[in-house]
């Protein structure tokens, strides 16, 4: 076996933040002694999020068992995900402009990878996305107009439509109640409320000049929203998730928390 050293490309302040969250959790459950210190557990968690290593690799690197690595990482994940902003808090970040960007993505998973034989009946795999042709979960997010992620919803089956997921997360109703204009792509047409989508193309006809210009302007304003998921998926653990689908919601919220903390440290 070959050993090597590596550098985690994250600020020390972020590690200290995660360490403090873990130390608080240990104090709450009255478990001060562990195989790893709070600092080492924080580093293990960030290595998992940043590089997407398996728990066997993490355990080997930190000198603990695979099960212990899983337990420490998921414990930190539960503590960090509890700090994720709520939908109400996220809508408050809309600022004076009262505008945000809504988008969804498929997060691939190795779980539930059976292809459906057809799209009706009991043989359909709910985690298989017919749009992306792979298994995964659908996650919705609200981003500020600068592309910074502000809120992520529940991780739902990959076959769930973006609009259905957004409604289930309460984003459409909450945005309307808060009078926040939400820019979204054509997959959210018919959402109603304050959701603004591109002009729909008439059947057998093309867009007229006014509609083309309006759609181009809408696309330009919505473009920074792509940055939000780029920041989240910069954490490689979200590129191919190996944990149970029931835990992916906590994982996405954990990534949101550390992403926002890292951005705030960069602005300080």
pLDDT in tens, the chain (268 residues): 666 677 888 999 999 999 999 999 999 988 878 899 999 999 999 999 999 999 999 999 999 999 999 999 999 999 999 999 999 999 998 888 899 999 999 999 986 545 555 555 555 678 888 787 888 899 999 999 999 999 999 999 988 999 999 999 999 999 999 999 999 998 898 899 999 998 776 666 665 667 788 888 888 899 988 899 999 999 999 999 999 888 999 999 999 999 999 999 998 7
Residue 135 and residue 29 share a domain: no
Exposed/middle/buried for residue 230 (C-beta within 10 Å: 0-12, 13-18, 19+)? exposed
Residue 132 and residue 71 share a domain: no
Report the DSSP beta bridge partners of residue 143: 101, 149
* Cβ-count burial 87-115 (b if 16+ within 10 Å, e if not): beebbeebeeeebbbbbbbbbbbeebeee
Residue 253 and residue 210 share a domain: no
240 domain-assigned: no
Give the model's pLDDT for residue 114. 53
139 domain-assigned: yes
Residue 265 and residue 171 share a domain: no
Residue 197: closest CA among 231, 173, 221 = 221
239 domain-assigned: no
Residue 103 and residue 64 share a domain: no
Residue 219 and residue 152 share a domain: yes
Residue 212 and residue 95 share a domain: yes
Give the residue numbers spanning the domain of 71. 6-83+245-268
1 domain-assigned: no
Give the model's pLDDT for residue 207. 58
> What whole-number distance in Å separates Cα of residue 141 and Cα of residue 169?
10
SS3 state at 42: helix
Instruction: Give the DSSP letter string of 204-263.
Output: T----HHHHHHHHHHHHHHTTHHHHHHHHHTSGGGTSB-S-GGGHHHHHHHHHHHHHHHH
21 domain-assigned: yes
161 domain-assigned: yes
184 domain-assigned: yes
| Per-residue tokens: 36 | 């790893």
Residue 208 and residue 126 share a domain: yes
Exposed/middle/buried for residue 29 (C-beta within 10 Å: 0-12, 13-18, 19+)? exposed
pTM of the entire structure? 0.90
Residue 184 and residue 95 share a domain: yes
Residue 160 and residue 76 share a domain: no
Residue 201 and residue 93 share a domain: yes
Give the model's pLDDT for residue 169. 96
- 257-260 contact pairs (CB < 8 A, 24+): 257/80, 257/81, 257/83, 257/84, 258/14, 258/18, 258/46, 258/49, 258/80, 259/149, 259/231, 259/232, 259/234, 259/235, 260/85, 260/148, 260/149
212 domain-assigned: yes
Angstrom CA distances, 219 to 189, 198, 199, 223, stand at: 14, 8, 11, 6
Number of domains observed in the structure of the chain: 2
Give the model's pLDDT for residue 126. 80
Residue 91 and residue 72 share a domain: no
Residues 6+ apart with CB under 8 A from 44: 36, 58, 62, 69, 72, 73, 76
């Amino acid at each position: 076996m070959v050993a090597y050293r590596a550098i985690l490309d994250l600020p020390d302040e972020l590690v200290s933040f995660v360490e403090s969250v873990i130390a608080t959790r240990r104090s709450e459950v009255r478990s001060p002694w562990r195989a790893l210190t709070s600092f080492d557990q924080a580093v293990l968690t960030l290595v998992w999020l940043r590089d997407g290593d398996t728990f066997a690799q993490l355990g080997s690197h930190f000198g603990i068992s695979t099960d212990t690595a899983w337990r420490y990482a998921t414990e930190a994940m539960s503590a960090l995900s509890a700090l994720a902003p709520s939908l109400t808090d996220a809508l408050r970040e809309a600022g004076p402009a009262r505008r945000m960007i809504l988008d969804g993505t498929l997060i691939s998973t190795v779980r539930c990878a059976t292809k459906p034989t057809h799209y009706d009946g009991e043989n359909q795999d709910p985690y298989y996305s017919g749009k992306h042709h792979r298994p995964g979960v659908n996650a919705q997010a609200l981003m500020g107009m600068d592309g910074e992620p502000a809120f992520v919803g529940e991780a739902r089956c990959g076959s769930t439509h973006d609009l259905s997921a957004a409604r289930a997360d309460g984003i459409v109703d909450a945005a309307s109640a808060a009078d926040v204009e939400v820019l979204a792509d054509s997959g959210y047409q018919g959402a109603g409320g304050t959701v603004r989508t591109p002009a729909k193309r008439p059947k057998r006809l093309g867009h007229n000049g006014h509609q083309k210009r309006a759609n181009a302007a809408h696309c330009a304003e919505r473009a920074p929203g792509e940055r939000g998921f780029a920041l989240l998926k910069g954490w490689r653990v979200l590129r191919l998730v190996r944990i149970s689908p029931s835990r992916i919601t906590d994982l996405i919220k954990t990534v949101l928390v550390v992403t926002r903390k890292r951005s705030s440290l960069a602005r300080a």
